[in-house]
Homo-oligomer: A and B are copies of this chain.
Amino acid sequence: MDNRAIGVFDSGLGGLTAVRELRRLLPNENIVYFGDTGRVPYGSRGKEVIARYAHQDIRFLQSHDVKMIVCACGTVSSVLGKELSEEAALPSTGVLLPAAQAACARSTNGRIGIIGTAATIRSGALARAIRSIRPEARIFGNACPLLVPIAEAGLAKSDNVIAREAVAMYLEPLKKEGIDTLILGCTHFPLFYDLINEYFDYQVELVDSGREVARHVQAFLTTHDLLCDPAQQSQCKFYVSDDVEGFVPTAELFLGDTIGHRVSRVEVDTL
């Protein structure tokens, strides 16, 4: 048993979709969340800058005595890979492997699509993870740089023509390839769940990387006897690197719950 919190970080708000799933699966666990809202987005940046920012994010969570670090950012998970666990010096996971495993298990025809940020697709890490499990898989990736700002602008709705057109623009090449499974390789993308399902006429399995990482965390903590005392009253604390006021309304959209006064602003770029 371990009553310490689970540490979760993301470039901004997207990781809150993973927090939502964690709270659903593990309602008693304490969670410390850091969203680097002062430097979001990561996915359009180069590898060195992403790695530097991620190291600072990890150091921040380490300073909170967490029992596990969850990188709920598709971009960092892709770019850092194994470095993530070496850096964390704690049990840790990115969203990459859990999503790859789920996609490989669910695909029937072995034609798997991946959408993510430019950095995620460029890294090729998710494709390598899939091939390590199903070497015969055919993988089709597409970078979707506009989906993050569209989600953060609160426009990821079925009746919004910009969101619909962006989804169509990015998914058309994958539809043509006949994929039967699509990995939402960025934790912002669950906000497009309905739009993507509608685009594919509900014929494609969607793998939500935030949901899969939450399942992985549940399994890991259970196996290693690291779950908290079930009688514990759970606490969630949120930290961001930009204004708190700008964070709360959009964050609640991603978290699917109220946040209240549990948010503090911190500076991490000097860590």
Contacts and interface: CB of A to CB of B under 8 A. Distances in A.
Interface of A: 37-39, 44-49, 145-146, 148-150, 152-153, 155, 161-162, 165-166, 169, 241-243, 245-246, 269-270
A162 B243 CA distance: 29
Contacts of A161: 165
Contact of A243 (B37, B49, B152): B49
Contacts of A47: 243
A39 B242 CA distance: 12
Contacts of A45: 37-38, 242-243, 246
Contacts of A38: 39, 45, 49
Nearest to A48: B243
Copies of the chain in the assembly: 2
A187 B44 CA distance: 19
B165 A245 contact: no
Contacts of A149: 145-146, 148-149
B169 A245 contact: no
A147 to B, nearest CB: 10
A142 to B, nearest CB: 13
Contact of A46 (B146, B162, B243): B243
Given A48-B243, A146-B155, 13 more contacts: A38-B45, A38-B49, A45-B243, A45-B246, A46-B243, A46-B246, A47-B243, A145-B152, A145-B153, A146-B150, A146-B153, A161-B165, A162-B166
A145 B169 CA distance: 20
A37 B48 CA distance: 13
21 contacts: A37-B45, A38-B39, A38-B49, A44-B152, A44-B246, A45-B242, A45-B243, A45-B246, A46-B242, A46-B245, A48-B243, A49-B241, A145-B152, A145-B153, A146-B146, A146-B150, A146-B162, A148-B149, A162-B165, A162-B166, A269-B269
A234 to B, nearest CB: 29
A47 B38 CA distance: 11
A259 B270 CA distance: 32
Contacts of A246: 44-46
Nearest to A154: B145
A38 B38 CA distance: 11
A36 to B, nearest CB: 10
Contacts of A269: 269
A92 B46 CA distance: 31
Contacts of A44: 152, 246
A165 B152 CA distance: 18
Nearest to A152: B44
